[in-house]
Amino acid sequence: MKTTTKKKPTKKRRDDGPFAAILRDAVTSSGASLYRLSADTGIGQDQLSRFVRADRSLSLKTAATLAQALGFKLTKE
């Protein structure tokens, strides 16, 4: 009997805009572990991990907390 294996559908990466992409890049290039960022910000390590993998987005409040911890400042031009 021939068995077939079904291929898992490829999970589509979340496209939640340029700010999220910049924030993801800042997290990965910061040199800080997700554990450290979690401890510093109070954001769950699992939540940060899913955000970095683009499996989920962050609330505005959470994104602001993360951005502040990474040294971002919002200015108006």
Give me the amino acid identity at 51.
Answer: F
* pLDDT computed for residue 10 by the predictor: 58
Which structural domain range is residue 54 located in?
A: 24-69
Residue, of 51 and 12, whose pLDDT is higher: 51
Residue 11 lies in a domain: no
Number of domains in the chain: 1
Tokens linked to 15? 């496209």
Residue 2 lies in a domain: no
Residue 44 lies in a domain: yes
Residue 42 lies in a domain: yes
For residue 74, name the pLDDT band (cuts at 50, 70, 90).
confident
DSSP structure class, residue 55? S
What pTM, to 2 d.p., does this model score? 0.78
Q: Where are the alpha helices (DSSP H) in 2-44?
A: 18-29, 34-41
* pLDDT computed for residue 15 by the predictor: 75
Residue 46 lies in a domain: yes
Straight-line distance from the first to the last Cα atom of the chain, in angstroms, rounded to the nearest whole number: 68
Residue 34 lies in a domain: yes
